[in-house]
A and B are shown apart, each in its own frame.
Chain A
Amino acid sequence: MFLKNAKLFGNSIKSRLIMTYALSSILLLSFIVLSGYSLLRSEFEQDNNRFLSDAVYLIQTILKQNTTLTLDKKLPNDITSFHFNKYYLRIVRPDGDVFFESSYFPVFPKQCTNQLKPYQLPGTLGPGITCQAKDGSLYAFIQAWGVFGTDSKQKVLLQIADDVSRRENILSAYRVELLVIEFIGILLSLAISYIVAVRGMSPLKEISSRIESVTFNTLDQRITPLGWPNELQGLASSFDRLLGRLEQGVNMLSRFASDLAHEFRTPITNLRVETDVLLKKPRANEDYVKSLESSLEEYERLSTMIDRLLLLAKVEDPRTQLQVEIFDLRPEIEKIIEYFQILAEENQISIGISGDGRLQADKTLFGWVMGNVLSNAIKYTQPKGQVEIQVLPSKKDDIVIEIRDNGIGISPEDLPRIFERFYRADTSRSSKVAGAGLGLSIVKSIIALHGGQIEVISTLHHGTTVRLIFPNSAIPYSFSQKEAPTLV
């Protein structure tokens, strides 16, 4: 249907609208003009018929009332001069002879007079006919059998003709005028429909130029608030959603790029300077070895950084496919505690665990979260302190894991910023650790990817509590084995 229309009107909504409007107004106009014309015409004809029948009745009455008349006589002058300037009359005797004929009575072709059977009088008269006489003019014509005088047996044929050329002329002039009016009407309706279509389409044009103006740098602009007709509101808001998704993706990529630059600058500067200085003059062998060893250390930093940035980029991408499995929390957490045990012993920190539960999550990523949170808890707890891990019985279907320490805590100024990338509360110490400052950002993103939440409650000098909340019922993404997006 759509395709067929497209072929007929060209592939443009505007021209299709115009054509449709124009076509319907042509039809409407033609209908009005045609019915107006035919009403007029039939009005004229009825009028004519009335006129002819009136004349027939009048003549009949005259012939009947005039008792002196016989078929042998001529018609008296007063009758003949009475009416016949308005119409033509012929009276024919039953034997076919003409009894009376007004002057200029038209000569009709035979088939014309045969076409109308004479009406019987007295009685009602039907419509007459329109005939072209031999002189070329048009006449309305009627004939009827009338009664002559008092003797009802004396029948005569009354024929009355009326010149309707004038009427026909009027009608044909009228026809031309109507055609002209219709033509003008069509032109007008084309013009109006063009204007209507253009105006109707203008928001569409507007929206497309708005969309056209969106560039890489203006992905933050939105078109919905501009106010659109209802029909376009849906389009505008889906376009805005598309923009939102694009913006998010572009932001992620550009942040990834600037993070890379940010984090790579220091190690690469170190490497360059060190090598430059080393090459300035010949040196002892062990100097070279030392320098190369230090380079290797920088390279390792760089590798670790790439890994972390890639991991961050991956877990921040909502399309990332998780390798979800269901597992018991206790053994998993105990394995991680065992790893940190040696560090805890060293600092005389005790690590305790209570509670248990089953979790549906990506095991490796979960390990990452637990490992980093626990590592922080130990790092910021003084000797003889305690770290307590508790798997809490959950309201609803959530699994809550609480990691509580009585360490140095986080100051209220730092607390809102700990999840920011590269934020380091103590700049002095962690700047030595590669990719430090990304740990908590990654933790937060991993939990978000699982549809969960992380809460940190902390009092300076008294300790920190980290609550990891995992939803355990429905995980809001699909696990199809489709190709996972890769970032490299």
Chain B
Amino acid sequence: MNRLLIIDDEEKTANFLKKGLEEESYFVDIAMDGQSALNLATEQLYSLLILDMMLPVMDGWQFLSRFRDIDQKTPVILLTSLNSVYDRVRGLQSGADDYLCKPFAFSELSARVEAVLRRATPSPVQESFEIEDLKISLTTQTVEREGKSIELTSKEFRILCLLCENHGRMLSRRELSEKVWGIDFDCETNVVDVAIRRLRQKIDAPFNVKLIHTIRGIGYVLEKR
């Protein structure tokens, strides 16, 4: 079981994050300032730190450099309201493992936590997914449901794989654009919605149990409800 440390002086934010992460079955501690965070981090072995950059007294940068003096391995995810390339680069160069800009979706944070932890402990490459009656083989690139084979375009296949990889977790339109098409900017379009609609016609429409669900205004999730 993974133990996380949240370092944030905003009590409300910290508590919500704790609640959310605990529901994803992590153990979570909270530190309100850099010094107590350092104390906690030396007493206890954490799998990952979530660090807000705006801290009183010792700010995030100072904390990070002092923490890296005593611990080079434990991954750190930065939360910040600074969204320039420069800050991103500075954060990653200072020894952070990932960088998340406020405001963020909780699902995105949890996905990053998962990804960073997975990087820390490599797992065997997945070759296939099986969710309910949906079967995907990554080696043969085939999809079938209720035993019926389904023809997908390469983009549709990619979207389906992403949804399955993140089974139960919402993917935002932005994430889908970025991971499927490599489009990392937003351009007031409903491309993702159209793509999902087409995918649904093939994956969900002919069957009783619907797997792909819409999170209004934000994104999509694949799960059995």
Contacts and interface: CB of A to CB of B under 8 A. Distances in A.
Q: Which label, helix, strand, loop or mixed, suits the secondary structure of the B interface?
A: loop
A346 B81 CA distance: 38
B188 interface: yes
Nearest to B86: A484
B37 to A, nearest CB: 23
A296 B216 contact: yes
Interface string A327-346: 00000000110111011001
B181 A339 contact: yes
A342 B103 CA distance: 30
Nearest to A346: B194
A418 to B, nearest CB: 14
Contacts of A367: 183-185
Interface in B167-201: 177, 181-191, 194-195, 198
Q: Which has the most chain A C-beta neighbours within 10 Å: B82, B104, B105, B194?
A: B194
A420 interface: no
A484 B191 contact: no
A342 B215 contact: no
A204 B217 CA distance: 62
A368 B70 CA distance: 42
A375 interface: yes
B206 to A, nearest CB: 20
B142 interface: no
B45 interface: no
A306 B183 CA distance: 19
B1 interface: no
A371 B187 contact: yes
A475 to B, nearest CB: 17
Contacts of A301: 217
Given A335-B182, A488-B83, A294 B216 contact: yes
A372 B187 CA distance: 5
Interface string B76-111: 000001111111000000000000000111000000
A368 B187 contact: yes
A371 B185 contact: yes
Interface string B101-124: 001110000000000000000000
A296 B217 contact: yes
B218 interface: yes
Given A343-B191, A343-B194, A488-B82, A364 B185 contact: yes
A339 B191 contact: yes
A339 B190 CA distance: 11
A338 B195 CA distance: 12
B149 to A, nearest CB: 22
Interface in A429-488: 430, 433, 435-436, 439, 483-484, 486, 488
B11 to A, nearest CB: 20
A372 B188 CA distance: 7
Interface in B44-74: none
A351 interface: no
Interface residues of B, number: 30
Given A483-B86, A484-B84, A342 B191 contact: yes
Q: Which has the most chain B C-beta neighbours within 10 Å: A297, A343, A436?
A: A343
Contacts of B187: 368, 371-372, 374-375, 439
Interface string A290-301: 000110111111
B155 interface: yes
Contacts of B186: 304, 307-308
B17 to A, nearest CB: 16
Nearest to B84: A486
A367 B190 CA distance: 17
Contacts of A300: 105, 217-218
Nearest to A432: B217
Nearest to B183: A339
A302 interface: yes
A413 to B, nearest CB: 22
A99 B10 CA distance: 129
A323 interface: yes
A323 B84 CA distance: 11
B195 A342 contact: yes
Contacts of A294: 216
A342 B189 contact: no
Q: Which has the most chain A C-beta neighbours within 10 Å: B87, B185, B191, B216?
A: B185
Contacts of B83: 307, 310, 488
A345 to B, nearest CB: 9
Q: Which has the most chain B C-beta neighbours within 10 Å: A300, A335, A367?
A: A300
Contacts of B218: 296-297, 300
Q: Which has the most chain B C-beta neighbours within 10 Å: A296, A335, A339, A346?
A: A339
Nearest to B153: A342
B216 A340 contact: no
A302 B86 contact: no
B87 A486 contact: yes
A293 B221 CA distance: 14
A-B CB proximity, top 9 nearest:
A297-B217, A371-B187, A339-B181, A375-B189, A368-B185, A484-B86, A372-B187, A375-B187, A297-B216
12 contacts: A293-B215, A296-B217, A304-B186, A307-B186, A335-B181, A340-B191, A342-B191, A342-B195, A346-B194, A375-B189, A439-B187, A488-B82
Given A293-B216, A297-B216, A314-B84, 10 more contacts: A296-B216, A296-B218, A308-B186, A336-B183, A339-B183, A339-B191, A371-B183, A430-B188, A439-B188, A483-B86
